[in-house]
Amino acid sequence: MLFERFWLEGQLLWVGFSVIGIVVTAAFFLKLIKDVFLGTFNPKWEGKLSEMSGRELITIVPLVILTIVIGVYPAFLLQKMGPTLEQLILHVVGK
């Protein structure tokens, strides 16, 4: 919504800065994920780590599904938060 407002008002410089910020942040985040999860393997753990167990899989699958659902369609969560956030804003701003 913010991009649309700035775009319609002709403030393309701010839109450009915002897009560059989002892209740079995403790039650093992806690099962090790559370094943490796909970094070099420490030889001291060779042969000591097992594959994911059934218990771990049962725990992680709902979290992955929830993450994907919220990422693809966040409206259901935002609709539930909307009234509470409106009351909070009214309380803070005092209007």
pLDDT tens string 22-57: 999 999 999 999 988 888 888 888 888 888 899 999
Non-local (6+) Cβ contacts of 69 within 8 A are: none
- pTM of full prediction above 0.85: no
CA–CA dist 93, 95 (Å, integer): 6
Assign 76 a pLDDT band (cuts: 50, 70, 90): confident
Q: Name the percent of the chain lying above pLDDT 70.
A: 93
Domain boundaries, the chain: 1-40, 53-95
DSSP string, 20-69: HHHHHHHHHHHHHHHHHHSSPPPGGGTTTPPPPPHHHHHHHHHHHHHHHH
Contact 15, 6 (CB under 8 A): yes
